[in-house]
Structures are given as C-alpha cells and as structure tokens.
Amino acid sequence: MDKLTNKTTLLDSIRLSEGAEFECNEKAILNEYQNQQENKSSLAIKVLSIFGGFLATLAFLGFLAIAGLYDSELGLLIFGIGFIISAIWLNKEYDKLIIDTFSISIYVTGFALFAFGLSEMKVDENVIAILIGIIALCSLFITHNYILSFISVLAISGSFLTLIISNDLYGLIHLYIGVYTLLLTYLFLNEAKIISLNRKFSKLYNPIRIGLITSLLFGLITIGKRHLIPISQNYIWFSSIVMIFIIIYLVYIISRINEIDSIKSKILIYSLSGLMLISTIFSPAISGAIIIVLLSFLVNYKTGLVIGVISFIYFISQYYYDLNFTLLTKSIILFSSGIVFLLFYLFTTKKLNTNEKI
C-alpha cells in the first residue's frame, strides 16, 4: 500500500506542473498499479515462460510426429487455427501472467500446425507466409499481452523473411533491413508521441520495441554472416545508406545532449564518425548493431543495450573472420582501428576535463 501512496504523490506533482488542463482517471491508474503489482513480471519470469513454452511446444510437436497425427491435413489445419484462436482468446479473457507459458505453447504450436497443414495441402509457400503474417498482425490488434505481442512481431518479420528467401529475391533483404532500421529509430525517438497516442499503442510499445530489435537482428544476421544467403557482396553497401543517415542523425542528437558547441569539436566529431562509417560501409551489420547500442543508451533501455553490445561484438568478429585478407593485413587493420578508438578515448576524456574546468 505504501507504494500506492507514493504513486498518488507522484500524480499530484504531475498535476501541479501540468496545470488546470490535466485530467486523469485516478481510480483507473491506481487500479492498474494494483493489477500490475499482482502480475509484475520480472525478466526471469518472462524468460522462464518463453523457454518453458517453447520446450512444451517441441515436446508436443514430437508427440504429433511420433503418433502420426499429421496424416490428416484438415485435422492439422483445424487444430492449428483452434490453437491460435484459443491462445488469443485466453489472453483477452484473463490477462494474467500465470497462463503465459500455456498460451505461448499453444500459440506457437498453432502456427506450426497451421503452416504444416497448409503445406501438406500443397498450398503455395508464399500464401502460407502471407497468411501467417496477417494472422499475427491481427492478433497484435486484439491482444496486448507482452509475450504474445512479441511473438506476433517475430512471426510477421519471419513471414517477410520467408517471402524474400523462398522467392530468391535476396536483394530485398536490404529493403527489409532499411525499413526495420527506420521503424526502430522512429519508435525509439518518438516514445512520448506513441505512448500518448492512445491506450493500445501505449501497451504495445514495450513488446514491439523488443520485437523490432530482434527482427532487425535477424535481418542483420543474414547479411552479417557471409554465405548464409546467396547475396551479392558487391551491393552489400545498399543497407549501409540508411544506416549512415541514421547514425549521423544520432551523432547530431548525442552531441546536442553533450552540449558540444565549438565548431572545432563539431568538425572533429563528424569527421571521426565519418571515418568510422566509411570503414563499416561494407558491413552494414556492424553499423546496425551500433544503431541498436546508441538508440538503447539514448533512451536508457538496458535490455536493448545488452543485445546491441553482444551483437556488435559478434558482427565484428564475424566480419574479420570472413575477411579475405592475409592475417598480416587483418592485423594491421585491427591494430590501426584500435589506435583510432584509443584516440577517441583520449578525445572524450580531454573534452570532459575542459568541461569540468568551465
């Protein structure tokens, strides 16, 4: 109860600073706090329910495979649709954390059965992918459950990727990456706008944020790991175009936060960032990871930051591993970039010290 009184004082202080126009439904707010306290989900619980859900799905699919229940296409289809609908209905009806594991398993199993049933019926792969994308999109509008929405975002991205790969239109992966990077940047930089838009968007904000990061990572992996898909290495810089614009824009925002005003420092910052961007022009995966890191740190989103840093390390190692140079050349490149970063470091420390003097 102590927490709730805290929230009331919080509300009062907002009321004070906002003035007369501010109206709120205090009862609804306190109700939601109450409900949230009962269903407070830590990261451990989320991960536990996702892992549990997927393990159970695997076991259930194993059961279907061994029992030979996949013989009836129609049965698969009906079960699939039934599972998806019940998952969404369950969440709509009882928005409780407790049923998460169960609804995740039947949701994912539902998609698997649905896709399998259709493919047994010799339905075109594209149609299946589009249908799954549409179902996932619809469920985003119906349910606000965190994990279900997260899985729906992944299902939508998965259907895009399937369409691209199964039609051999690998060039479109650049479009996928470009669009997702832009969406992600928009979502991060317009948090206030989106959550104040309406209740639905406000509830979907968190799951879509983590969903978009994961989807972007999928795209980045396809170009970050060479020969994973047969994509022309000559045009790999296509994705970099969007990345470069976004990073320059982020550098602009960051230098404003850091109150860098002198022309000299500005020129230095932009030219050093430019140098870094030119060196990553053939590895958009690395710049993509940098964008995730910068955006997440900008809005102080820890999970995103950790994901960004890990993928950054991975993409850099993968890039140098794939690089077709002798070890000596690689060594020189790595060594000199290391020195450049140390210079960056000296620059930022010096900057800080002069600031402190003023």
By CB under 8 A, tell whether 336 contacts another protein: yes
Rounded to 5 degrees, φ, ψ at 42 are -85, 170
By CB under 8 A, tell whether 349 contacts another protein: yes
By CB under 8 A, tell whether 310 contacts another protein: no
Whole-number Å distance between alpha carbons of 236 and 173: 10
Q: How far is the CB of 264 from another protein (least distance, A)?
A: 18
Taking residues 194 to 223 in sequence order and writing x for each that binds another protein by CB under 8 A, - otherwise, the string is -xx--x--xx-xx-----------------
Q: Could you say which residues in the range 47-76 bind another protein, by CB under 8 A?
A: 47-49, 51-53, 55-60, 62-63, 66-68
Whole-number Å distance between alpha carbons of 243 and 177: 9
Taking a C-beta distance cutoff of 8 angstroms, is the pair 317, 305 a contact? no
Interface segment toward another protein; rule CB under 8 A; list 71-79, 82-90, 173-181, 347-355: 347-355
Structure tokens at 117: 């049933």
Whole-number Å distance between alpha carbons of 225 and 303: 23
Rg (alpha carbons) of the chain, rounded to whole number: 24
**Torsion sign across C-alpha atoms 185, 178, 163, 46:** negative
By CB under 8 A, tell whether 277 contacts another protein: no
* CB crowding 258-287: b at 16 or more within 10 Å, else e: eebeeeeeeeebeebbeebbeebbebbbbb
By CB under 8 A, tell whether 322 contacts another protein: no
Binding-site size for another protein (CB under 8 A) equals 94
Q: How far is the CB of 196 from another protein (least distance, A)?
A: 5
By CB under 8 A, tell whether 348 contacts another protein: yes
Q: Which is nearer to another protein, 15 or 131 (CB)?
A: 15
By CB under 8 A, tell whether 25 contacts another protein: yes
Taking residues 283 to 302 in sequence order and writing x for each that binds another protein by CB under 8 A, - otherwise, the string is --------------xxxx--
CA distances from 241 to 268, 288, 291, 313 (A): 22, 11, 13, 22
Q: Which is nearer to another protein, 57 or 139 (CB)?
A: 57
Q: Could you say which residues in the range 236-255 bind another protein, by CB under 8 A?
A: 254
Q: Three-state SS for 143?
A: coil
Q: Which of 78, 81, 85, 99 binds another protein (CB under 8 A)?
A: 99
By CB under 8 A, tell whether 341 contacts another protein: yes
How many other C-beta atoms are found inside a 10 Å radius of the C-beta of residue 230?
8
Q: How far is the CB of 232 from another protein (least distance, A)?
A: 28
Whole-number Å distance between alpha carbons of 291 and 181: 8
Q: Which is nearer to another protein, 92 or 351 (CB)?
A: 351
By CB under 8 A, tell whether 266 contacts another protein: no
Q: Could you say which residues in the range 141-180 bind another protein, by CB under 8 A?
A: none
Whole-number Å distance between alpha carbons of 106 and 85: 9
Rounded to 5 degrees, φ, ψ at 282 are -95, 10
Q: Which of 80, 83, 90, 105 binds another protein (CB under 8 A)?
A: 105
By CB under 8 A, tell whether 4 contacts another protein: no
Q: Which is nearer to another protein, 178 or 207 (CB)?
A: 207
